[in-house]
Amino acid sequence: MDTKEMIKINQLNKSFGDLHVLKGIDMTVYESDVVCLIGASGSGKSTLLRCLNFLEKKDNGNIIIKGKEVDPNTDNLNKIREKVGMVFQHFNLFPHKTVLENIIEAPIMVKGVDKEEAISKAKQLLSKVGLEDKLDVYPNKLSGGQKQRVAIARALAMEPEIMLFDEPTSALDPELVGEVLATMKELAEEGMTMVVVTHEMDFAKEVADWIVYMHDGKIVERGNPEQFFSNPKEERTQEFLKTTI
Ligand code: ADP
Ligand code: MG
């Protein structure tokens, strides 16, 4: 079987003013891969994800999505964001919209999906994340774990081919983390291509195909979970793993 390159990044650089945050990142993500991106706070993980979704503009380097280099100056970024869904630490649900309205908004407004069709798809997605009974509820009536599952359903409603997760469980009470990770694991098992920034090392060990460790704007080490966690090659990685396990 051909393995399709879903994301390819060459020599990506990004600065905020004088702060050089991404320092020549190279990365390839193949179809159905789950990549867990780990590293200390401030190492550039969120900036990298945001560049991949064009929420931040790279300074230089190439970002190639499904074989096509994206030029943020000329390409329709909304079209690209349809392919690349993103889930954030803080859910970012619309507070004044119900769960259903949150999910159907973008398919209708951005993709021009028919309302009935959007509703029917939203219901399917809500039952997939175990929240079919929360259709008409407002976000403030949901637990953090439920909000995050709605946020995942909302991203999936655009039928993305790649999903980016930026610390999706970091804002949750410990007892709510499992339900969100279970939803993500299911998605991974269905073959979704995923890049997940996480501190959940057990999830990374179990679900990831590849672990990528970032430090100070650079990729220090990558490997499959077995090799990475049991036999990290770089001293930096060894130090980092000591602090997290
Ligand atoms: P991580 O997600 O690994 O914690 P970030 O990508 O959020 O790291 O941040 C990397 C560095 O870039 C940090 O020093 C952070 O303060 C800085 N940074 C991130 N976003 C901005 C921004 N919009 N403006 C200025 N500095 C930023
Ligand atoms: Mg971050």
Judged by its nearest atom, the ligand closest to the C-alpha of residue 40 is 1
**DSSP run (H or E) holding 102:** helix 99-109
Structure-block tokens of residue 49: 């994800």
How far apart CA 82 and CA 176 sit, in angstroms, is: 28
Distance CA 160, CA 220 (A): 29
Q: What is the ipTM of this complex?
A: 0.98
Crossing angle of helices 99-109/144-156, nearest 10°?
Answer: 20
Angle, alpha carbons 92-90-96 (nearest 5°): 35
The pLDDT of residue 2 is above 70: no
Measured on CA atoms in the order 10, 231, 233, 202, is the torsion positive or negative?
A: positive
The whole-angstrom separation of Cα 95 and Cα 216 is 35
C-alpha R_g of the chain: 18
**The pLDDT of residue 79 is above 90:** no
Q: Find out whether 136 and 98 touch, Cβ atoms under 8 Å.
A: yes
CB of 169 within 6 A of ligand 1: the answer is no
**pLDDT mean over 68-88:** 91
Reading the block at residue 156, the tokens are: 């999936």
pLDDT at 220 over 60: yes
Residue 42 has pLDDT above 90, yes or no: yes
Q: Is residue 198 in contact with ligand 1, taking CB distance under 6 Å?
A: no
Q: Is the pLDDT of residue 40 over 90?
A: yes
Taking the CA of residue 17 as reference, the ligand 1 atom at the shortest distance is 25
- Ligand 1 atom closest to 56 (CA): 23
Query: Which pLDDT belongs to residue 157?
Result: 97
Q: What are phi and psi of 53, to 5 degrees?
A: -105, 5
Mean pLDDT of 196-218: 97
| Ligand 1 geometric centre to CA of 238 (Å) | 24
Q: Do residues 62 and 69 make contact, with C-beta atoms less than 8 angstroms apart?
A: yes
CA of 241 to the centre of ligand 1 (A): 22
Residue 202 pLDDT more than 90?
A: yes
Q: Which of 43, 42, 40, 60 lies closest to 51 in space, CA to CA? A: 60
In the predicted model, is pLDDT for residue 8 greater than 80?
yes
Q: Is the CB of 217 under 6 A from ligand 1?
A: no
Checking if the pLDDT of 244 tops 90, the result is no
Q: Whose CA is nearest to atom 15 of ligand 1?
A: 42
The 10s digit of each residue's pLDDT in 125-167 is 999 999 999 999 999 999 999 999 999 999 999 999 999 999 9
| Nearest protein CA to atom 27 of ligand 1, as residue | 16
Picking from 21-30, 65-74, 230-239, which range would have the lowest pLDDT averaged per residue? 65-74
Q: Which ligand is nearest to the CA of 41?
A: 1
Is 10's pLDDT higher than 80? yes
Burial (CB < 10 A; 0-12, 13-18, 19+), residue 245, is exposed
- Centroid of ligand 2 to alpha carbon of 50 (angstroms): 10
Q: Which numbered atom of ligand 1 lies nearest the CA of 50? A: 6
pLDDT at position 73: 86
Does residue 174 have a pLDDT over 60?
A: yes
* Ligand 1 pocket member 72 (CB < 6 A): no
Indicate the pTM of the whole model: 0.96
Classify residue 54 as left (phi > 0), alpha (psi -120 to 50) or beta.
left
Q: What is the mean pLDDT of the chain?
A: 96
